[in-house]
Amino acid sequence: MPCHWLVKGTKEYCTRPTKNQYCGKHAFTLREGSTPPKPCKNCGNGTNSALQICIPCGQYRQCKSQAEQQNAQQPAQQSAPQSSAQVVVQEGALPKRKHHRTYKPKYGVFEYNEPPAGDIEFTECRTERRLNINGEVLPEDIYQNVEKRSREEEKLVDVSDIMSCWQAVVPSMRNPSYNFNKEIAEDDYGKTPYMVQMIEASHEKITEVIQTEFERKGSQLKARITAYCAYEQRKIVQGEISVTYTDKYHDRETQVLLAEHSINEFLDRSAGVMIDADIEAYLNNGSGWKLLQIEMIYIEFYKYERALGGSWKETPKGLSNKKVTINPNNRATEDNLCLGYTLGLHFLHYENDGIVKNPQNLSKIRPYISRINLEGIPMPTPICPRVFEKIEKQNPEISVNV
């Protein structure tokens, strides 16, 4: 097996074969009192720094700190063009989106590019994605018989709907929590799907990222998890073995998180059902496919317009014909009391044994609005669990379900 000594300044490990953890040279170095390099917390290159930060990353942090101090010393009042430029600088300070490959093409062969073996670490990156002229993802990551495709059709585009993006390289199989992430054929993936295990191993770190976004944006987020995977296909073409290596994103529709307590449900839906099913379907799209491994995980957060009450809309005909809804019409008053009318209907029906003629008329509902404690409740009312919890606390006889 290869030596476990991480080469300083690179992400590569010593290639000398050994029966033990370290080869003879590095075993002697350890006996002399030296400490093996550890992966830099920022870039993953080997370093002997006690802080686990390599020299280039340390210099970058120092420069960034100096720039932040200079920005803090600038006058608070700036003209609009200056403010706009400052936002561009902040966006540019984020690192680019990575596309780590464990098997890198180099000089006509594939070089093993093992990721760090430490815990998974998410960092915020720019909101961008590589597309070709046909809208296909990552043409630079598709290789046919170890010959790289032309990059002429590539273009780098900003995904305007993505508000923020976080990325993490999946740790090496040397990390016991991720030792499941290895080559697997299409017939076996359905038996042991990887994303369920991936989310379980990374649950704490992913939760921290989502909590950070809740702190930034408040309640209600729109998000999705994306897996970046490496594949291999082998088939016989004119009597010769043809090998295709393909890297692919697997992501599904975005989902809304109403509050922090919905994080676990979001992770279960994203991993357990959607992405694993997508990976399995891709493996079964033709014969000879093999998943080499899941290379990276992204968490993307999108623009989300919170739903507000206040504007009356006619009930759709299909629902109206079922005679199971009441839609108080406050179009003429425009008083933003939709929630008050809705809750008032509860008491109107309760006190009249459910027999009320034209219950949608506001004149029938208004006398009962005073029965509801709506102190501190915004009108129009956002669809927010915290607001509904406050309503239920102030009105123990009412239960709000959305």
Is the pLDDT reported for residue 78 higher than 50?
Answer: no
User: How far is CA 354 from each of CA 346, 351, 395, rounded to the nearest angstrom?
Assistant: 9, 8, 21
Q: pLDDT band at residue 1, thresholds of 50, 70 and 90?
A: low
pTM of the predicted protein model: 0.54
Is the pLDDT reported for residue 83 higher than 80?
Answer: no
Is the pLDDT reported for residue 109 higher than 80?
Answer: no
pLDDT given at position 150? 39
pLDDT given at position 145? 31
Cβ-contact 283, 291 below 8 angstroms? yes
For 149-183, letters b (16+ CB in 10 Å) and e give eeeeeeeeeeeeebbbbbbbbbbbbebeebebbee
The CA angle 179-183-184, to the nearest 5 degrees, is 110
β-sheet bridge partners, residue 8: 46
Q: pLDDT band at residue 95, thresholds of 50, 70 and 90?
A: confident
Q: In terms of C-beta density within 10 A (0-12 exposed, 13-18 middle, 19 or more buried), how is residue 227 classed? A: buried
Cβ-contact 146, 101 below 8 angstroms? no
Is the pLDDT reported for residue 3 higher than 90?
Answer: no
Q: Which residue has the higher pLDDT, 138 or 224?
A: 224
A 10 A CB-CB count for 191 gives 7
* Assigned token pair, 335: 């008083």
pLDDT given at position 184? 92
pLDDT given at position 249? 86
**Mean of per-residue pLDDT scores for the chain:** 74
Is the pLDDT reported for residue 230 higher than 60?
Answer: yes
* Assigned token pair, 100: 């780590």
Q: What is the pLDDT of residues 171-180, one digit of tens each?
A: 999 999 999 9
Question: Residues 6 or more apart from 284 whose CB is under 8 A from it?
Answer: 186
Amino acid at 206: I
Q: pLDDT band at residue 181, thresholds of 50, 70 and 90?
A: very high
To the nearest whole percent, how much of the chain has pLDDT over 90?
A: 14
Rounded to an integer, what distance in angstroms lies between the CA atom of residue 382 and that of residue 398? 18
pLDDT given at position 279? 92
Residue whose token pair is 């815990």? 119
Rounded to an integer, what distance in angstroms lies between the CA atom of residue 111 and that of residue 101? 10
pLDDT given at position 113? 83
Q: pLDDT band at residue 105, thresholds of 50, 70 and 90?
A: low
pLDDT, average across residues 178-199: 90
pLDDT given at position 137? 44
pLDDT given at position 148? 35
pLDDT, average across residues 367-377: 82
pLDDT given at position 106? 62
Element (H, E) at 392: helix 385-394
Top mean pLDDT of 10-19, 53-62, 99-108, 145-154 is at: 10-19
Q: pLDDT band at residue 138, thresholds of 50, 70 and 90?
A: very low
pLDDT, average across residues 38-49: 77
Cβ-contact 376, 390 below 8 angstroms? yes
β-sheet bridge partners, residue 112: 103
Residue whose token pair is 């097996």? 1
Is the pLDDT reported for residue 168 higher than 60?
Answer: yes
- Point out the least confidently predicted range of 85-99, 275-289, 315-329: 85-99
pLDDT given at position 160? 52
DSSP-assigned letters across all residues of 326-366: -----TTT--S-HHHHHHHHHHHHHHTTT--SSTT-HHHHH
Rounded to an integer, what distance in angstroms lies between the CA atom of residue 46 and that of residue 67? 27
Is the pLDDT reported for residue 85 higher than 70?
Answer: no
Amino acid at 143: Y
pLDDT given at position 169? 94
CA 333 vs. chain centroid, Å, equals: 43
**Nearest-10 crossing angle of helices 276-283, 194-217:** 140
